[in-house]
A and B are shown apart, each in its own frame.
Chain A
Amino acid sequence: MKAFLRLLAQLALYLPFVALIGYFSHAPRYAVLRPGEALVRLSFVHAAERKAPCRERSAAELAKLAPNMRAALDCPRERAPLLVELEFDGAVVFRRTVPPAGLQHDGNATVYHRLPVPAGRHRIVARLRDRAEGDFNYVREATLDLSPGAALLIDFIPAQGGFVFRG
């Protein structure tokens, strides 16, 4: 009898716990996007140009260096920050200056931006400047039909000419 009561007590303890686990493991359902929305993602990693150009060392400077250190060019490590801009139907919805990673600011700059948008036909322009000064040197624009639940991924691949729109 005592063992039976103990079993019942265990069940009384476990059932709510397991019911809780079973419910919140699946529910409530999470709405990632509102009905009729699509998603635009800007996501890439890119190393910008050096902040200052390389400089040629003079003969006197080279002579002062150890023989194994006599590189003709003196290149500063620091890279320029990226300037990224995303225009959506004529309005700039994202503009950010992204610094390069690393203590010496000589690494990649990483960009991620998520933009839920109404589904439909939209004109999207992505711009990037990866040098210290001047205008945007990479621009890509497209007019796209985004269906509900569609995800447009805006990548940046210099070897393919810059921005790549996938979706």
Chain B
Amino acid sequence: MFSAAKNNLGALGFILFWMLAASGIYLYIRFDTSAAGAYRSIGELEWWLGGILRSVHRYAADAFVAVVLLHLVRELAAGRFRRWRTFSWISGVPLLWLMYASGIVGYWLVWDARAQFSFFSTLEWFGMGANGLSAPADRLFSFFVFLHIGLPLALLAGMWIHVQRLGQPRTVPPRAMGWGLPVCLFTLALLLPVSSEKPWNAVKTASALDIDWFVLFAHPLMYATSPSALWAIVLGATAILLFLPRLFAGRPISPAAVDLDNCNGCGRCVADCPYEAVVLGATNQALVFPARCAACGICAGACPSATPFRKASELVSGIDMPDETVRDLRKKVQEFLDKGNACVKFQCAHASATRDGIALRCAAALPPSFIEYALRRGAREVLLIPCRDGECAWRIGDELAAARFTGAREPRLRATVRATRDAGEYRFALR
């Protein structure tokens, strides 16, 4: 369960964004978009709908911040920020700014003492002044409203860009999780409804405030340090995040290579690539973008020409890994069988259990035809150990392998082979 949650933090972010959008639309319908009427219109929300949705809007924003930060920490800890993931990483950095800006401006719309505190703190941070702040200013307030619609829309556009280099991006969490989190936030909204502070009063300041530490933490941080220090922290953190992919570029890898004579343009490698590194070119044949390629071998596992039954003297696949070809894999299987092993074992190189199996870069890098090949050449059983905890180093390899073995996705494991899965491991035998 915990593993599923940490693998779906990005998807949970999307669900929370849609919750924010849906609750925000209702609140906007009921909202008086004038400085004089905003506070009153929020106070007049009926508790059983508007009040709950207001609380949900607030808690979903906080959960969004928490989930996004966890997502960042997790990807950072797993080293998923460089090379083929650089685009996703760098495109995610401005989203942090947009997320906080959207949240902070959202607080200003309530036009209460908290809004006043946050607005003046932001002015101070930016070193900006403003005239006539003692009287409600409709033009200024309209600008806040515009920002609170425009910034989340920019955030959504940024989220769309953020997942553009991911094949089959996970923007919807598993069903239980997709329902569980909203239900919990609605329950929290019922048990602990949010409320406004006293109305905005430029000639009075609240001595103490209940502030939302998820969104507004920058203001106390600024007063504990200084506006310059806050700029240094924020810009420094942004610069570090942006330069991380360059600082830790890692070893060079050999990207997948296409053999045009063997590529029939079926597009399976394009569909299965986890990082959108393969496209069909002008000649309707596969074309690899080396900088995007993770060298995971999933494309080779998807290629219909990567079948060991082929009669060609030299087994050459339409798309393959130059440093670990399907020809090498067939040789390894043959050697395994020649040693008299009744069980041919394959294992993902990222699997926690170390066995004496044939190492694969990913479970999905194994073309299903290799399983039947081993069984037809004398193996009684084929064992495949995928990556640890069902957590694929290449995002979707485990899912792709499962879909291929169950016949839900090309290239399918033929019906003559029976596949069973127990404790994460696959076992195959002829029917």
Q: Which residues of A contact B (CB under 8 A)?
A: 6, 9-10, 12-15, 17-18, 20-22, 24-33, 35, 37-39, 41-45, 110-112, 114, 148-153, 155-157, 166-167
Confirm or deny: B340 has a beta carbon within 8 angstroms of a beta carbon on chain A: no
B129 with A45: CB separation less than 8 A: yes
Neighbouring A residues of B176 by C-beta, 8 Å: 6, 10
For the complex, give the distance between the alpha carbons of A41 and B206 in Å. Answer: 14
For the complex, give the distance between the alpha carbons of A43 and B204 in Å. Answer: 15
Closest 5 CB pairs of A and B: A151-B205, A110-B129, A9-B1, A112-B129, A167-B203
Confirm or deny: B59 has a beta carbon within 8 angstroms of a beta carbon on chain A: yes
Residue of B nearest to A10 (CB): B180
Given A10-B180, A24-B62, CB of A45 within 8 Å of CB of B131: yes
Confirm or deny: B192 has a beta carbon within 8 angstroms of a beta carbon on chain A: yes
A151 with B202: CB separation less than 8 A: yes
B185 with A31: CB separation less than 8 A: no
B129 with A14: CB separation less than 8 A: no
Using an 8 Å CB-CB cutoff, how does the interface string of B167-208 with A read, 1 for contact, 0 for none? 000000000110011001101100110100000011111111
Confirm or deny: B212 has a beta carbon within 8 angstroms of a beta carbon on chain A: yes
The contact of B131 among A20, A27, A156, by CB within 8 Å, is A156
For the complex, give the distance between the alpha carbons of A21 and B187 in Å. Answer: 12
Confirm or deny: B130 has a beta carbon within 8 angstroms of a beta carbon on chain A: yes
Neighbouring B residues of A44 by C-beta, 8 Å: 129-131
The contact of A114 among B124, B131, B184, B204, by CB within 8 Å, is B124
Neighbouring A residues of B202 by C-beta, 8 Å: 151, 153, 166
Residue of A nearest to B206 (CB): A32
Residue of A nearest to B187 (CB): A18
6 A-B pairs besides A24-B212, A27-B210 with CB distance below 8 A are A10-B177, A14-B184, A21-B62, A25-B58, A38-B205, A157-B132
Confirm or deny: B123 has a beta carbon within 8 angstroms of a beta carbon on chain A: yes
Neighbouring B residues of A12 by C-beta, 8 Å: 1
CB of A116 to closest CB in B, whole Å: 9
CB of A50 to closest CB in B, whole Å: 21
Given A31-B208, A33-B207, A148-B207, CB of A21 within 8 Å of CB of B130: no
Residue of A nearest to B205 (CB): A151
B133 with A43: CB separation less than 8 A: yes
Confirm or deny: B14 has a beta carbon within 8 angstroms of a beta carbon on chain A: no
CB of A110 to closest CB in B, whole Å: 4
A149 with B205: CB separation less than 8 A: yes
Query: Considering the complex, which residues of chain B in the window 210-224 have a beta carbon less than 8 Å from any beta carbon of chain A?
Result: 210-214, 220
The contact of B208 among A6, A14, A29, A39, by CB within 8 Å, is A29
Given A17-B66, A25-B58, A114-B120, CB of A32 within 8 Å of CB of B1: no
Residue of A nearest to B217 (CB): A24
CB of B212 to closest CB in A, whole Å: 5
Confirm or deny: B394 has a beta carbon within 8 angstroms of a beta carbon on chain A: no
B188 with A18: CB separation less than 8 A: yes
CB of A136 to closest CB in B, whole Å: 18
A21 with B204: CB separation less than 8 A: no
For the complex, give the distance between the alpha carbons of A9 and B188 in Å. Answer: 19
Neighbouring A residues of B205 by C-beta, 8 Å: 32-33, 38-39, 149-151
Number of cross-chain contacts by CB at 8 Å: 132
Confirm or deny: B252 has a beta carbon within 8 angstroms of a beta carbon on chain A: no
For the complex, give the distance between the alpha carbons of A35 and B128 in Å. Answer: 27
For the complex, give the distance between the alpha carbons of A140 and B290 in Å. Answer: 68
Neighbouring B residues of A18 by C-beta, 8 Å: 184-185, 187-188
A20 with B66: CB separation less than 8 A: yes
For the complex, give the distance between the alpha carbons of A110 and B123 in Å. Answer: 10
Using an 8 Å CB-CB cutoff, how does the interface string of B219-232 with A read, 1 for contact, 0 for none? 01000000000000
Given A10-B176, A44-B131, CB of A25 within 8 Å of CB of B59: yes
Confirm or deny: B134 has a beta carbon within 8 angstroms of a beta carbon on chain A: yes
A32 with B117: CB separation less than 8 A: yes
Residue of A nearest to B185 (CB): A18
The contact of A43 among B130, B177, B181, by CB within 8 Å, is B130
A13 with B208: CB separation less than 8 A: no
Residue of A nearest to B179 (CB): A10
A166 with B134: CB separation less than 8 A: yes
The contact of B188 among A21, A111, A151, A155, by CB within 8 Å, is A21
CB of A7 to closest CB in B, whole Å: 8
Confirm or deny: B48 has a beta carbon within 8 angstroms of a beta carbon on chain A: no
For the complex, give the distance between the alpha carbons of A15 and B124 in Å. Answer: 37
Q: List 21 A-B contacts (CB under 8 A).
A: A6-B176, A18-B185, A21-B188, A21-B214, A22-B191, A26-B194, A26-B210, A29-B211, A31-B208, A32-B205, A38-B205, A43-B130, A43-B131, A45-B130, A110-B128, A110-B130, A112-B130, A151-B201, A151-B203, A151-B204, A155-B131
CB of A79 to closest CB in B, whole Å: 16
CB of A42 to closest CB in B, whole Å: 8
Given A13-B1, A110-B128, CB of A22 within 8 Å of CB of B59: yes
A10 with B1: CB separation less than 8 A: yes
Confirm or deny: B127 has a beta carbon within 8 angstroms of a beta carbon on chain A: yes
Confirm or deny: B337 has a beta carbon within 8 angstroms of a beta carbon on chain A: no
For the complex, give the distance between the alpha carbons of A81 and B187 in Å. Answer: 56
For the complex, give the distance between the alpha carbons of A134 and B364 in Å. Answer: 79
Neighbouring A residues of B209 by C-beta, 8 Å: 29-30, 32
Residue of A nearest to B132 (CB): A155
